[in-house]
Amino acid sequence: MDSGEFLDILGNANRRRILQLLAERPCYVTEISDFLGVSPKAVIDHLEKLEAAGLVESRTDSKRRKYFSIARHVRLEVTVSPYEFGTKSAYPASSRLDITSCRQLSIDLEHDPEATDSSVTASEIEPDDVVSLTEALNDVEQLENELSLAQRWAQGKLTELREHLESVLDDEQSRLLADLLLALADGPSDLDALARSVGAPPAVVDELLEKLVDDGIIEEDDGTYSLVEDN
């Protein structure tokens, strides 16, 4: 879909709120209606537009309830500057993309502490050196393109790893469990802080933390939770 059409779709506040809710968990129409405070008919109209745009998909459970969820990872960029106005939509690149093929973007995949950026900075160019300034501008434009490509690669990797983690957890609350583990990957934390981080009631988080402790994935010490090392 054209990025301008994406902007039109996302220009509606209720559609943005629907996507915000579905980013947390799949929902059916009544849940979304209660969350938004609007009629189910209005919700269905918004969902149809989001489905047509390829942002939302649906499935029917064993009780014949139709659940809606976000269909895929899409990034929409809007650039407004004195020299450019434009929009660009991008989908995650394949995880098989060779990110080292980017010439301008230096990513230290080997964690080499001696690695340095050899590019010439603007301050090192003579102010009247038109050729050098043009070449430097061209380099930065290429860098911008490669950064966009790197973001797509990272998004693809994030989606792949997130889906893998949730499949390994294999639980109805896999998404929330993954959120808790990601919060703990930043360092030890307590119940209240974790509940705020994942946006869930402390009672629900407490139950999930107990499950993760029982499974030997995290450990608890005087009310502080942390990932088990070398798990």
Asked whether residue 117 carries a pLDDT value surpassing 50, the answer given is no
SS3 per residue for the chain: CCHHHHHHHHCCHHHHHHHHHHCCCCEEHHHHHHHHCCCHHHHHHHHHHHHHCCCEEEEECCCCCEEEEECCCCEEEEEEECCEEEEEEECCCCCCCCHHHCCCCCCCCCCCCCCCCCCCCHHHCCCCCHHHHHHHHHHHHHHHHHHHHHHHHHHHHHHHHHHHHHHHHCCCCHHHHHHHHHHHHCCCEEHHHHHHHHCCCHHHHHHHHHHHHHCCCEEEECCEEEECCCC
29 and 47 in contact (C-beta within 8 Å)? yes
Q: Is a pLDDT exceeding 80 seen at residue 115?
A: no
Task: Report which of residues 123 and 210 the model is more confident about.
Answer: 210
Greater confidence, 88 or 40?
Answer: 40
Q: What is the CA radius of gyration of the chain?
A: 23
Domains of the chain: 3-70 (1.10.10.10), 92-167 (no CATH), 174-227 (1.10.10.10)
Give the confidence band of 110 by pLDDT, cuts at 50, 70, 90: very low
**Residue 73: what pLDDT?**
79
> How many CB atoms are located within 10 Å of the residue 177 CB?
22
Q: Checking phi first, is residue 54 left (phi over 0); if not, alpha (psi -120 to 50) or beta?
A: left
d(CA 210, CA 207): 5
pLDDT digits (tens, 9 = 90+) for 126-181: 767 788 888 888 887 888 788 878 877 777 788 788 889 989 998 888 889 999 99
pTM of the model: 0.55
Backbone conformation region of residue 171, classed left if phi is above 0, alpha if psi is from -120 to 50, else beta: beta
CA distances 78 to 11, 66, 89, 112, 155, Å, are 13, 33, 9, 35, 18
Mean pLDDT of the chain: 82
Judged by average pLDDT, the poorest of 10-14, 24-28, 69-73, 74-78 is: 74-78
